[in-house]
Amino acid sequence: MGAPEDWLLTQAERGNPSTRLDARHPGDRAWSEGNRVRPLVDGATYFAELHERLEATRPGDLVLFTDWQGDADERLTGEPGSEVVEVLGRADERGVDVRGLVWRSHNGSIGFTARENAQLGRALQQRGAEVILDMRVRTGGSHHQKLVVIRHRDDPSRDIAYVGGIDLCHSRRDDATHRGDPQALDSMADEYGATPPWHDIQAAISGPAVHDVETVFRERWEDPTTLRRSPIVVVHDRLRGLDTSPDPLPEQLPPPPPAGRHAVQLLRTYPDLRQGRDYAFARGGERSVARGYTKAVERARRLIYVEDQYLWGDHVGNVFVEALRRHRDLHVVAVVPMHPDVTGLNRTAQLVGRRRAMLDMHRTAPDRVAVYGLENSAGTPIYVHAKTCIVDDTWATIGSDNFNRRSWTHDSELSSVVVDPDGEYARDLRLTLAAEHLERTREDVEDLAEPEAMFAAYAQAAAALDGWHAGGRSGPRPPGRLRRLEPPSIGPVRRALALAPYLWVHDPDGRPRTLRRGDRF
């Protein structure tokens, strides 16, 4: 399987001497050992556990969270009283120290959630929690990290951190049946229906790595970079009575005791902010997400399994292409949304990005690359928001980052990587996801333990379902949710019109100029 040091970045390879994230790790190690990580597949699973854990907090405990998008009224269990604002508000009122960093967001008129995010921040501030709207990003950028940390003053063995792709907002509370969250977003493309089916994943981390996730939050909270640049926004915040000055956090507790055998590394993206501004903890930015993926993919020999919202661009395609060229037994399976969640020119721009990545891989190894979308039993496409990658059943990541240049250079991102010396974690994650997509029980996928068998099973299931659709849906629906996707067909004029929006709006580059010139991360 390989030792953690063979797969994970060293402190030097992380390339960020400004951070204190690895300060307690021995030598040049940039990861924690002695952890237990549990994948929580789909939002209903995560929200139910998060609700239980938050409700169990007591006076003196600490809750920290970050959000890209937040809805105060999202119900964690579907029941009245389980709304995000109620659960976190009650915790603060009984003496828990609740702190949050919510991306301020761009305006709703261009499809973003500034109003909802501000409402969440204001509602929690009114309940006593300290929640800050954070706009310390590049122009057009965002804070995309999604984490929750719960530290217990009197019982550190219960400490836990959640890292992944699931925001505390509408549409995320879907389960394995994928009928959608009744509290749905109203901005999805029509193909996804009134309650868009939503596939996602979050990692639950116990052990010393909880301290590392907490450090990620603390570095952002304590950063002296101004929260907002616009004087109009400053005045507006004051008129609304919003707290814009983060109070000091309590002293950080020591790491929790060991909880398992997993080595956990946190990978991050922070951009080069430019214009004389910079993060104190990431001078010139951090691109360990890009570096970590590149190192792992270079070691791949048999199977790279990806679930991702985007899978865009030449940079991403090139990483896979080089691995496919070097290793003739290597296969790549990717599960992505069947359709972008936007329409018009924005949709074309996103399809241009997908086309670039897919064409590169297909041209290199047409028989060893397969890309799939998902649909539920009613035939409604499932929006794939999961961000996970599994390499040779050894290196596995769950995070907020997508396979595109924006996530690798431009927005803030956080991903948790697990290397398990027993070799069980990554394999179990892969087979759990396969069971859901093939509509089998978890006990009925052991025949897919070998990577080649899973590659073939996905291809067979997709061919059967595609054939059933092509034949007018006659007869029983074949089992499984997989639909085969080919590189999007886009005419040259449409591609030309969409290229600039793709490069500058959807997939911008947040690297310093010196790295851009050499196309390095």
What is the distance between the alpha carbons of residues 502 and 346, in angstroms, rounded to a whole number? 8
Q: For residue 383, give the 3-state DSSP assignment.
A: strand
**Distance between CA atoms of 353 and 317, rounded to whole angstroms?**
10
Report the C-alpha gap between 292 and 11 in whole angstroms: 12
Show the 3-state SS of 120-155: HHHHHHHCCCEEEEECCCCCCCCECCCEEEEECCCC
Fold of 37-247: Endonuclease; Chain A (3.30.870)
Cα separation, 225 vs 330, in Å, equals 44
Give CA–CA dist 150/148, Å, rounded.
7
Cα–Cα distance measured from residue 419 to residue 8, given in angstroms and rounded to the nearest whole number? 8
3-state secondary structure of 53: helix
Please give the sequence-ordered ranges of beta strands (E in DSSP) within 353-463, or none if there are none.
Answer: 369-374, 383-384, 388-391, 395-399, 413-419
DSSP characters for 403-468? SSHIIIIISBEEEEEEE-TTS-HHHHHHHHHHHHHHT--GGG-GGG-SHHHHHHHHHHHHHHHHHH
Q: Which residues pair with 36 in a beta bridge?
A: 206
Looking from the CA of 168 toward its CB, the CA atoms found within 13 Å total: 34
Domains 37-247 and 286-518 share a fold: yes
Q: Which residue, among 72, 113, 110, has the nearest Cα to 89 in the 3D structure?
A: 72
pTM: 0.97
d(CA 230, CA 443): 56
Output the pLDDT for position 105.
84
Q: How many CB atoms lie within 10 A of CB 475?
A: 8
H/E element, 268: strand 262-270
What's the rounded Cα separation, in Å, for the pair 168 and 129?
16
The residue ranges of every structural domain in the chain are 37-247, 286-518
> How far apart are the C-alpha atoms of 249 and 240, rounded to whole Å?
24
Q: Are 104 and 114 in contact (CB under 8 A)?
A: yes
Q: Rounded CA gap, 494 and 502, in Å?
A: 12
Tell me the residue length of the chain: 521
The tokens for 507 are 């997939």
β-bridge pairing 198-199 and 383-384: parallel
Per-residue pLDDT of the chain (521 residues; tens, 9 = 90+): 679 999 999 999 999 999 999 999 999 999 999 999 999 999 999 999 999 999 999 999 999 999 999 999 999 999 999 999 999 999 999 999 999 999 998 776 667 788 899 999 999 999 999 999 999 999 899 999 999 999 999 999 999 999 999 999 999 999 999 999 999 998 899 999 999 999 999 999 999 999 999 999 999 999 988 776 566 666 667 667 677 788 999 999 999 999 999 999 999 999 998 766 789 999 999 999 999 999 999 999 999 999 999 999 877 889 999 999 999 999 999 999 999 999 999 999 999 999 999 999 999 999 999 999 999 999 999 999 999 999 999 999 999 999 999 999 999 999 999 999 887 999 999 999 999 999 999 999 999 999 999 999 999 999 999 999 999 999 999 999 999 999 999 999 999 999 999 999 999 999 999 999 988 99
pLDDT attached to residue 107: 74
CA distances from residue 138 to 70, 146, 191 in whole angstroms, order as listed: 21, 18, 32
**Cα separation of 11 and 5, whole Å?**
11
Contacts of 74 (CB under 8 A, 6+ apart): 83, 84, 168, 169, 170, 172, 173, 183
Q: Report pLDDT digits (tens) over 89-106.
A: 999 999 999 999 999 987
Residue pair 382/375 in contact (Cβ under 8 Å)? The answer is: yes
Class of domain 286-518: alpha beta
Instruction: Indicate the Cα dihedral angle 320, 325, 330, 333, nearest 10°.
Output: 40
The residue behind tokens 């499932």 is 382
Give the model confidence (pLDDT) of 333-371 as tens digits.
999 999 999 999 999 999 999 999 999 999 999 999 999
**Residues 494, 453 contacting (CB under 8 angstroms):** no
Q: How far apart are CA 33 and CA 25, in angstroms?
A: 9
Sign of CA dihedral 395, 312, 267, 10: positive
Query: Three-class SS of residue 373?
Result: strand
Instruction: Give the pairing type, strands 331-335 and 303-307.
Output: parallel
